[in-house]
Each structure stands twice: as structure tokens, then as C-alpha cells.
Structure 1
Amino acid sequence: MSDTASGPHGEAATGPPEPVREAPMSRRLIASEVACVLALSLGAAAVSAVISFVGTVTAPGGLTEQTASLVDPRAGADRPWLDLTWQVYSVVFALAPVALVLYLLRRGAQSGATIGFDVRRPGVDLAGGALLAATIGAGGLVVYLVSWQLGLSTTVAPSSLNDHWWELPVLLLQAVKNGVLEEVIVVGYLMLRMSQLGWSPVRAAVVSSLLRATYHLYQGAGMFVGNLVMGLVFCWFYQRCGRVMPLVVAHTLIDVVAFVGSVYLIGRVGWLPG
């Protein structure tokens, strides 16, 4: 058998094949891509939160008698290294959708810089993120306390980890993971794709915020409203500055305060549920 390739009419082919040129992404392809990304990440979390919420409101007792724990132990207290291994595993692989999003942007001749997910402006990002964290964090705490008193939210236990030396480092990693995962996908990536679909900024912000609120629904109706407002503020900020990094910083700081505060304050101050 000859190793020489033949052309369509039997003549020998010469030279390398022509490169395949990718067609521009159609609206249908963009919508399909978004659906796949969300199904592998926070879209699935939203469905899970709705199911959890239904189970909570139909359980005996009110919402305040139910507890929503955000970071749980993965092994018994007598097996700390196994628990630590599972905690690191959960953080690393939870960020896989972010890697997928960055890959998809790169394939489309874009990058993380397109949505402002880079370190080109550390000072501005840190300052903006700290300001957002202070504003949203304080408001979120008030919403939680009021909604809990009204019976509209579960008792949120940010951490139920066992007392090990690695507890705080793991909580910090969880906070960073939450900030990166949620803001890159729900704001940066989703807002970009919705603009490519021709959606108005207001419509895109509402959809993004509703998604954020829905995957927090397991914490109760009060936190649904609180996260809806947070999402609208974050989308407004992103549309003004075009950078997702301040949102990552803000979200991370909010979760750091919540996680670390739960370790040192819950059970020690009377006004904090838990």
C-alpha cells in the first residue's frame, strides 16, 4: 500500500492541509455554551438550592430552626489529615469551571483580561473591593439578622469544621474560591456572553443577580433578597469599571469575615444566631 495521499480525483496531494477556520460564534452557540458552563457550576447549585429550600420549608418547625452550614467537615475529628485532603480537593476542583471559562475566552481570541480578571491594577482593585465589602457586608449582616428574626432565613453556620490547626487556612481558601468562582462566572463571563447575545445591560444584570440569589436560596427567603441586591450592586459596579477583580476581592473579604467571625463569635455574642 502506498503512503502517498491522493487528491479527490486520484492525483497525489502535495503540501500540508489548509488550516480549519473557525466560524464566528452564533447566538445559538453562545447560548449553548452558557448553558453547559452553568450546568457544570452555579446553575446546578441554583437547582440544588431550590430543592433544599423546598425541603427546609416543608420540614417540621420554622426556617430559623433549620441550620445551613457552608463549610462542613469531610471526615471524623480523629482523622484530620483525611479531612484536610478532602477540603483542599473541594476547593481545587470547584474552580474547574473557572478554568473552563478562561479556556473558552482564550479560544475566542479573548482572555481573563477581557472581563478584568487580572492583576494589572492591584491598588484600584483592592481599594474598590474593600469599599464594596464594607458596604455590602454591613448591609448583608443587617438583612440576615432582620430576616432571621422574622423567620425568613435559616440559621447560617458559616463553618462547622473541627478544631484543627488548618481550620483558618482552609476557611481562607474557601473564601477565595467563592469569590473567584462566583464573580468570574456569574458576573464577568455571564455579562460578557449576554452582551454578545444582544441583551441590554439592565436585563443582563437582573438575570445575573437572580441566578446569584437563587443559588443562595437554601439559606432562606431573606438571604435570597439580600443576595439579589448584592448582585445588582455588583453588576452595576462591573458595568461602570469593566473589571471583575474588585468584585472578587470584595466577595473574598466578605466571606473571610463571615467564616472567621463564625469561629470566634458564634456562641460568644448573644445577638448573633447560632
Structure 2
Amino acid sequence: MSDLSPVEQSEAEPTRAVRSRWGVEVAVILCVGVFPPLLSALVSHPTEETMPSAQHQWLALLVRSFQVLAPTMYVIWRSREGWSAFGWRRWRLSDDLILGFVLALVGLWCARLGVMVGRSLLGADAAYNPVIQNEFRQAFHVDGWTSALMVAALVANSFAEEVVVRAFLILRFTQLLRSPVKAVLLSSLLFASYHVYQGLAPACGVFAMGLLLGTVYAFQGRVAPLIVAHTLYNLAQSWKF
């Protein structure tokens, strides 16, 4: 069981066979957890008429989160590197909650800055997709069952994304690229890429949030506070609309 951060774990020189296995693992997880939502974000153009019901959307997100999480957890288990190598260490409840809360606050500021930069560089047309914005605006103004389903879906999605994009990909990218900086940048780009359905400027905000969480993870190697931060961030983003 390793207590080293992803940066420290990248220092050992792997064999060619090990690097090949890492590459296959990354390809599998990208095909399962990143490319499908990216393709959907690029080809789908939701309108008020084509958007499914709120309950259907949140239920689909909940199911999708577990579909992504299950194979990723299997790949981590099969690696025999130990769960702690991928950020799964004993929960420090108060510390993780406090750090998660602080990261969520800083992340909201970073995301806002990223959106502003995106709008400045890409123009007003890159603002939030009005259909998506309207869906979030209505999320807390529906029946209790739909609101509860939304919260459950956002929690599950935050959990799955942190396991895939931060806990798994940052470690593997660091090992393969021999650079934690490149690993954080690449994971953040992938994280932002499948959020372009929200609009290009909001995707820039997601990229900024990814940089923050990725940098923290690269040096402290704990996924629990990131899950807390991501969950609070998602809930806050939904609430603000």
C-alpha cells in the first residue's frame, strides 16, 4: 500500500510491459468514461422540445455515473497497486470536509474567472447554453422526488468523475508522461471537453476548476476532499441558476 502522492509515485522507472499495461488501462477508461460523454456533448444540440423530463435526465446521470465508476474501480483493483495509490486513504472526516468546502469556494471563484476569460476570448456566443441553464434553474423548483434524485445524481457524478479524472488518470498520465504538470493539464482538458454542451465559456470555467482540483490531488494524493469539493461545487452551480 503506497502513501505517496502521484508526483512521488512517478519517480520509479517502469518496464516496457508495465507502461504498455498502463496505456491499455488508460485507453479503456477513456473509452468508458470520457469519450462517450464527449461525443454526446459534441453531436447533441438540445432544445426545449427535445429535452427529456427532469426525472429522466437525473436518473440517466445517476445510472451513467455507476456505469463509469464500476469498470474504473475494477481496473484499479486489478492493478494490484493498492487503493491508496489512487487516493483511497482513510477518511479524515473533519479535515476532508473542511478542505472540500474550501476547495469548493475557491473552485467557484476559479470557474467564474474561467468563464470570464472564455467569454472575453470567444465572445458572447460562448455563454451558457440557454436550454441547459433553464434546466438548472428549474431543478430546485420541482417536486421533492425530482430534487432528491437530482442531488443523488450530482453526488454520484461527482464521485465518479473524481475517481476517473483525478484519482486514476492523473496517476497514469504522470507515470506515462513523466510530468505531473502535463498530467494535470491533460486531465483538466479532458474534464472540460465533455462539458462543452453547457457552452464554450462555461467549459473554460470547468477547465479552471479541473486545474485547481488536479493540482491539489497531484501533491496531496487524497481523493476524498475532492469528492466533497466537487459535490458542493455542482450543487452550488445548480442552485445559483
The structural deviation recorded for 1:163 is: 2.6
The structural deviation recorded for 1:51 is: 2.9
- Match 1:211 to one of 190, 212, 218: 190
Equivalences for residues 206-245 of structure 1 within 5 A: 206-245=185-224
Q: Output one character per residue of 1:219-241: Cα deviation in whole Å (capped at 9) or x when no partner.
A: 22211221221111111111121
Q: Does 1:73 align with 2:47?
A: no
- Match 1:192 to one of 171, 180, 185: 171
- Within 2, Cα distance between the matches of 1:201 and 1:230? 17
In structure 1, the partner of 2:125 is 151
- Within 1, Cα distance between the matches of 2:137 and 2:17? 42
What letter matches 1:173 in structure 2?
Answer: A
Q: Which has the higher contact order (CA 8 A, sep 6+)?
A: 2
- Within 1, Cα distance between the matches of 2:53 and 2:89? 32
- Match 1:32 to one of 18, 21, 24: 24
In structure 1, the partner of 2:100 is 129
Q: 1:72, 1:160 within 8 Å by CA — same for their partners in 2?
A: no
Q: Does 1:50 align with 2:50?
A: no
Superposition RMSD on alpha carbons, in Å? 3.1
- Within 2, Cα distance between the matches of 1:159 and 1:119? 37
Q: Output one character per residue of 1:183-239: Cα deviation in whole Å (capped at 9) or x when no partner.
A: 110111001112232430011111101101111112222112212211111111111
Flag the structure with larger Rg. Answer: 1
The structural deviation recorded for 1:127 is: 0.9
- Within 1, Cα distance between the matches of 2:234 and 2:52? 15
231 and 139 in structure 1: CA distance in 2 versus 1, 3 angstrom threshold: closer
Q: 1:115, 1:242 within 8 Å by CA — same for their partners in 2?
A: yes
What letter matches 1:31 in structure 2?
Answer: G
Q: 2:107, 2:209 within 8 Å by CA — same for their partners in 1?
A: yes
Q: 2:184, 2:211 within 8 Å by CA — same for their partners in 1?
A: yes
Q: Output one character per residue of 1:77-103: Cα deviation in whole Å (capped at 9) or x when no partner.
A: xxxxxx57x844641342222222222
- Within 2, Cα distance between the matches of 1:25 and 1:122? 39
- Within 1, Cα distance between the matches of 2:178 and 2:138? 41
- Within 2, Cα distance between the matches of 1:42 and 1:185? 9
165 and 226 in structure 1: CA distance in 2 versus 1, 3 angstrom threshold: closer
User: Secondary structure at 2:222's aligned position in 1?
Assistant: coil
Q: 1:102, 1:112 within 8 Å by CA — same for their partners in 2?
A: no
- Match 1:183 to one of 146, 162, 187: 162
What letter matches 1:96 in structure 2?
Answer: Q
Runs of 5+ consecutive residues of structure 1 not aligned to the other structure: 1-22, 57-65, 75-82, 263-274
Q: 2:126, 2:201 within 8 Å by CA — same for their partners in 1?
A: yes
233 and 178 in structure 1: CA distance in 2 versus 1, 3 angstrom threshold: same
- Match 1:249 to one of 217, 220, 228: 228
The structural deviation recorded for 1:72 is: 5.1
The structural deviation recorded for 1:142 is: 5.8
Q: Whose helix fraction is larger, Structure 1's or Structure 2's?
A: 2
Q: Output one character per residue of 1:170-195: Cα deviation in whole Å (capped at 9) or x when no partner.
A: 12112102211111101110011122
Identity %: 28
- Within 1, Cα distance between the matches of 2:37 and 2:64? 15
- Within 2, Cα distance between the matches of 1:142 and 1:73? 32
Q: Return 179-188 or 146-155, whichever deviates more.
A: 146-155
What letter matches 1:235 in structure 2?
Answer: G
